[in-house]
């Protein structure tokens, strides 16, 4: 089969939503499908943005990629996504609301229309626009989490299929005993408000006031912000190997601070590497985080609850051991092969 996968932007730096799409592309290619990844610049049509598009295109073509694609996966970069630059195919998959809006306008020669819903994107566009895309009746809609399924049900959407996200269970594995880990807490940082990073930093500061020897590491795809205290180690653009070996496997606890997620991959990855997880109730962790069983959960924007969770795990080895053991067991339920086979089954119908 010829399959198009539509992406809303270039993602020069690691991105959870893009990573899932890329892994599906590779998996489908290995099954013999011809896969096109089509990237839109996501920019408004101005002369400056067109120049910026050319610069970004050159950088992408000649810079080191953060993801290794299967040799048969083709990649196409366009300034503005439209029907004319989407190849004919047996199926076309939209991966965001903006790409679903484009796919809606396409003719039947793009094949079966599939909408991979990876989040409730009301932080990117008005709710009315997002809700309308969920109700497109000519698309097969796949939701990656049960909380997104619930949103769809509340909107009156009945034709949804649940295919959970996953991690590469061969890559994200526990390699280091908890007693050998040099960091108490690891956290991802982002300038995007929806990631809630400042609340996490505030929580780390609260813990530091209680424990003088408390250690933490932050990783991010952007340069260090002046808001981040100097006592916290900061790793910019870590490689996947460094992230797994030197951050996830070197930290006792992972702190997730997001306000909203379709599916939050970093805490899942850290859990698979043996870290205990303290997380906000952001929706995107519901599949693998149960409070007091596989993680400690707190309200969004609540630095005090985050710090309390961290302190509780530092003081209670029995609870810590319970969460890490049950977390590892839970993560094993989310297999890439299972999700890939479900997607492939939808394509073959």
What is the rounded distance in angstroms from the CA atom of residue 216 to the CA atom of residue 247? 10
Long-range CB pairs of 228-233, under 8 A, 24+ apart, other chains included: 228/189, 228/201, 229/201, 229/204, 229/205, 232/201, 232/204, 233/183
Clarify whether residues 137 and 98 are in a common domain. yes
Domain that holds residue 105: 2-166+334-348
pLDDT band of residue 48 (cuts 50, 70, 90) is low
- CATH number assigned to the domain comprising residue 76: 3.40.50.2000
Clarify whether residues 16 and 161 are in a common domain. yes
Residue 196 lies in a domain: yes
pLDDT band of residue 64 (cuts 50, 70, 90) is low
pLDDT band of residue 63 (cuts 50, 70, 90) is low
Report pTM: 0.85
- What is the phi/psi pair of residue 178, to 5°? -60, -35
Tell how far CA 69 is from the center of its chain: 18
pLDDT for 61 beyond 80: no
pLDDT for 53 beyond 90: no
Average the pLDDT over 89-111 and give the result: 97
Positive or negative, the CA dihedral 234, 240, 244, 248 is positive
pLDDT for 79 beyond 90: no
- Which residues fall within 8 angstroms of residue 313, CB to CB, at 6 or more apart? 252, 253, 276, 278, 296, 319, 320, 323
Clarify whether residues 116 and 94 are in a common domain. yes
Residue with tokens 């606890």: 253
Residue 109 lies in a domain: yes
What is the rounded distance in angstroms from the CA atom of residue 216 to the CA atom of residue 204? 8
Residue 176 parent element (H or E) = none
- Which range among 46-60, 165-179, 272-286 shows the weakest confidence by mean pLDDT? 46-60
Residue 192 lies in a domain: yes
pLDDT in tens, 23-45: 999 999 999 999 999 998 766 66
Clarify whether residues 341 and 308 are in a common domain. no
Q: What is the pLDDT of residue 80?
A: 84
pLDDT band of residue 54 (cuts 50, 70, 90) is confident
Q: From start to end of 84-196, where are the E strands? A: 91-94, 112-117, 140-143, 160-162, 183-188
pLDDT in tens, 192-243: 999 999 999 999 999 999 999 999 999 998 999 999 999 999 999 998 899 9
pLDDT in tens, 104-139: 999 999 999 999 999 999 989 999 999 999 999 999
What is the rounded distance in angstroms from the CA atom of residue 66 to the CA atom of residue 190? 18
Clarify whether residues 218 and 183 are in a common domain. yes
Clarify whether residues 186 and 129 are in a common domain. no
159 vs 279, higher pLDDT: 279
Residue 125 lies in a domain: yes
What is the rounded distance in angstroms from the CA atom of residue 334 to the CA atom of residue 166? 5
pLDDT for 188 beyond 70: yes
Clarify whether residues 65 and 192 are in a common domain. no
Average the pLDDT over 167-174 and give the result: 91
Q: Give the chain's domain count.
A: 2
Q: What is the pLDDT of residue 52?
A: 67
Q: What is the pLDDT of residue 13?
A: 61
pLDDT band of residue 56 (cuts 50, 70, 90) is low
The overall average pLDDT reported for the chain is 93
Check residue 39 and report its DSSP letter. E
Alpha-carbon distances, residue 201 vs 110, 235, 320 (angstroms): 46, 15, 22
Q: What is the pLDDT of residue 40?
A: 87
Q: What is the pLDDT of residue 349?
A: 82
Clarify whether residues 46 and 14 are in a common domain. yes
pLDDT band of residue 150 (cuts 50, 70, 90) is very high
Average the pLDDT over 158-183 and give the result: 94
Clarify whether residues 192 and 63 are in a common domain. no
Q: Judging by beta carbons within 10 Å of its beta carbon (0-12, 13-18, 19+), is residue 17 exposed, middle or buried? A: buried
Residue 183: strand pairing partners: 251
pLDDT band of residue 49 (cuts 50, 70, 90) is low
349 vs 241, higher pLDDT: 241
Clarify whether residues 126 and 230 are in a common domain. no
Tell me the two tokens of residue 156.
């009156």
């Amino acid at each position: 089969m010829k399959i198009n996968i539509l992406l809303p932007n270039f993602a020069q730096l690691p991105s959870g939503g893009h990573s899932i799409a890329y892994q599906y592309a590779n998996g489908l290619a290995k099954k013999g499908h011809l896969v096109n990844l089509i990237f839109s610049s996501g920019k408004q049509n101005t002369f400056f943005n067109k120049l910026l598009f050319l610069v970004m295109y050159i950088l992408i073509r000649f810079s080191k990629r953060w993801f290794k694609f299967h040799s048969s996966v083709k990649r196409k970069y366009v300034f503005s996504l439209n029907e004319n630059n989407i190849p004919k195919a047996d199926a076309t998959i939209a991966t965001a609301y903006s790409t679903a809006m484009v796919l809606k306008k396409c003719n039947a020669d793009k094949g079966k229309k599939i909408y991979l819903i990876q989040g409730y994107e009301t932080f990117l566009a008005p709710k009315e626009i997002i809700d309308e895309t969920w109700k497109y009746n000519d698309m097969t809609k796949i939701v990656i989490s049960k909380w997104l399924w619930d949103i769809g049900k509340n909107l009156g959407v009945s034709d949804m299929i649940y295919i959970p996200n996953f991690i590469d269970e061969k890559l994200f594995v526990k390699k280091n005993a908890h007693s050998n880990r040099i960091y108490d807490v690891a956290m991802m940082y982002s300038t995007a408000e929806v990631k809630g990073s400042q609340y996490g930093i505030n929580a780390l500061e609260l813990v530091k006031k209680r424990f003088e020897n408390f250690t933490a590491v932050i990783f991010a795809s952007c340069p260090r912000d002046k808001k981040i205290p100097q006592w916290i180690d900061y790793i910019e653009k870590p490689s996947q190997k460094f992230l797994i070996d030197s951050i996830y496997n070197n930290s006792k606890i992972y702190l997730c601070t997001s306000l909203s997620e379709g599916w939050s991959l970093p805490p899942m990855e850290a859990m698979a590497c043996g870290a205990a997880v303290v997380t906000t109730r952001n929706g995107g962790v519901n599949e693998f985080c149960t409070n007091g069983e596989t993680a400690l959960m707190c309200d969004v924007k609540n630095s005090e609850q985050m710090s309390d969770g961290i302190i509780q795990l530092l003081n209670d080895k029995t609870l810590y051991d319970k969460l890490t053991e049950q977390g590892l067991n839970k993560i094993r339920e989310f297999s890439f092969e299972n999700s890939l086979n479900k997607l492939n089954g939808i394509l073959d119908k």
